[in-house]
Amino acid sequence: MAKKVDRYTYRVTWSEEDREYVGLCVEFPSMSWLDKSQEKALVGIRKLVSNTVADLKRSKEPVPQPISARPYSGKFMVRVPPEVHRMLTLRAAEAGVSLNRLVSSRLS
């Protein structure tokens, strides 16, 4: 079974400003790791997250739950201008589907 630290959401991207790769972790948005190599940027951010999680546990502070382990209801509220709501309702009616089905298909 994977360690909890391995279940976090990692990404490596190029930073034109730094002229290096940047390792990032979605659950720890204030952290990053710079390196000339993509692989080393990933290894670096994973080590940083691992050390941070260990520190948080030692000090009995809350540890962020990995996004992959969070429960999702499948519902979320989106606010749109009234004219967009009207237009989407019309399109749904014309297509013979519910507004929910229209929006869900557009988001997929």
Model confidence at 83: pLDDT above 50: yes
The number of domains in the chain is: 2
Residues 25 and 10: beta-carbon distance below 8 Å: yes
Model confidence at 8: pLDDT above 80: yes
Same domain, 98 and 63: no
Same domain, 80 and 53: no
Which residue range(s) make up the domain with 83?
72-107
- Tell me the one-letter amino acid at 74: G
Same domain, 62 and 30: yes
pTM: 0.72
Q: What's the CATH code of the domain at 14?
A: 3.30.160
Tens of pLDDT, residues 47-67: 999 999 999 999 999 999 999
- In this predicted structure, what is the pLDDT of residue 2? 54
Model confidence at 86: pLDDT above 90: yes
